[in-house]
Amino acid sequence: MSEGLEEAGFKCVFSSEILPGYASAYRLNHPDARLEVADIRSLDPDQIRKDLGMEKEELDLMAGGPPCQGFSINAPIRSALDARNHLFKEFLRFVDAFAPRAVLIENVPGLVSFENGATIKAILESLEEMGYCCDVRILGAVHYGVPQTRWRAIVLGGRGKSIGFPEPAYNVPHVPNFISVLNGKSLLQKPGPNANPNYVTVKDAIGDLPQLSNGERGAQAKAYALEPQCEFQRQLRIGSSAVFNHEAPRLSDINMKRLQYIKPGGNWTDIPEELLPEGMKKARKSDHTKRYGRVIPDGLASTILTKCDPHWGAFFHYSQERAFTVREAARIQSFPDRYVFAGTQAQQFAQVGNAVPPLLAKSIGMAIKDGYLRE
């Protein structure tokens, strides 16, 4: 989120992160922002505002993404008792202390249906009581130039005036599989007639990166394999002279055997039954369609998760006999190559998978800046 908003012209002055590993990666890429590594519930927003030398109503934007696992439609149990589901109150505490001109909250689409809409209504009502004109939409990242099927619920609020949501730039035939209606109104931000049908593909995203074999690490900084082949690659290579975080995870022998049977666009149903995991031998062919999937180069990637484990999604490279690298996952998320991830490979994958795609955040930031702050 911070990366995309900075690309839109914002400057981050303060961030809060509870995990030291994530904080080190954030600090590496946002060295000018003050960063508190702590439980947000322990922080005093009024003191932070004073330390920053800010008066109330001086801040342009308060942006955040309270942990979303408890809201997710994929969560084992979706309960109001999950402590993570109440961290949005901490965000509201900061809004009250700073009284920013605009507010941005990001979460999973499941936020809309959680507790039959009671939670999202409580968030909107709380912000409205603080003087913000708020609304919520569900945005498809693919409509903003991100080459994967990823949807996010976005709450925007302006002090005394509503903020328009960004218009989709690309027209992609992609239907969501979740509830997207609140109070009888569709929340999907749909492409208009002028949206570009030539959307960004997986090959557009990663086709210029060096080839690797299964488990190959190589040099920490690798040379690009090709000159930029499209505008997406040109944009993401700005400010970078080499490829970092591009090391192939080591697939097990059984997964390498399974991979031999999977063509681009294929999945677990192409694998001989004797090679399937025991738990999938009785599964219906119509279920789990992304598991052990090999992406189509001219299509979209499935949602990048916190680990690119083939058992959970289509994370096999379209032409190389291996799984995605951290850099390929980051490219599919639309991170620029100058953005370097820290920690173990597992931690790096988690940082990428938990992130808001920067291009989506940039589009939202431009809508806030140009459609609201400059008026």
pLDDT at site 110: 84
> How many Cβ atoms sit within 10 Å of the Cβ of residue 135?
15
Q: What is the pLDDT of residues 153-204, one digit of tens each?
A: 999 999 999 999 999 999 987 777 777 888 888 888 889 999 999 999 999 9
DSSP 268: G
What is the residue range of 125's domain?
2-194+357-373
Q: Does residue 185 lie in a domain region?
A: yes
Strands 181-182, 151-159: pairing is unpaired
Residue 91 to residue 105: CA distance in whole angstroms: 9
Q: What is the pLDDT of residues 75-111, one digit of tens each?
A: 444 444 455 557 888 888 999 999 999 999 999 888 8
Partners of residue 61 on adjacent β-strands = 102
Q: Does residue 200 lie in a domain region?
A: no
DSSP codes, 147-164: SB--EEEEEEEEETS--P
Structure tokens at 231: 């505008």
Residue 178 belongs to a domain with what CATH number?
Answer: 3.40.50.150
Q: Does residue 126 lie in a domain region?
A: yes
Q: Considering the chain, what percentage of its residues have pLDDT values greater than 90?
A: 78
With bands split at pLDDT 50, 70 and 90, how would you rate the model's confidence at 218?
Answer: very high
pLDDT at site 151: 93
If one counts the domains in the chain, the total is 1
Q: Does residue 348 lie in a domain region?
A: no
Does the pTM surpass 0.85? The reply is yes
Q: Does residue 52 lie in a domain region?
A: yes
pLDDT at site 77: 45
Length of the chain: 375
pLDDT at site 79: 47
The per-residue pLDDT of the chain, averaged, comes to: 91
Q: Does residue 257 lie in a domain region?
A: no
CA atoms within 13 A on the CB side of 213: 2
Residue 283 to residue 290: CA distance in whole angstroms: 13
Q: Does residue 14 lie in a domain region?
A: yes
pLDDT value at 68 more than 60: no
Active site residues: 68
Query: Rounded to the nearest 5 degrees, what angle is found at the Cα of 64, between the Cα atoms of 15 and 339?
Result: 60
Q: Does residue 70 lie in a domain region?
A: yes
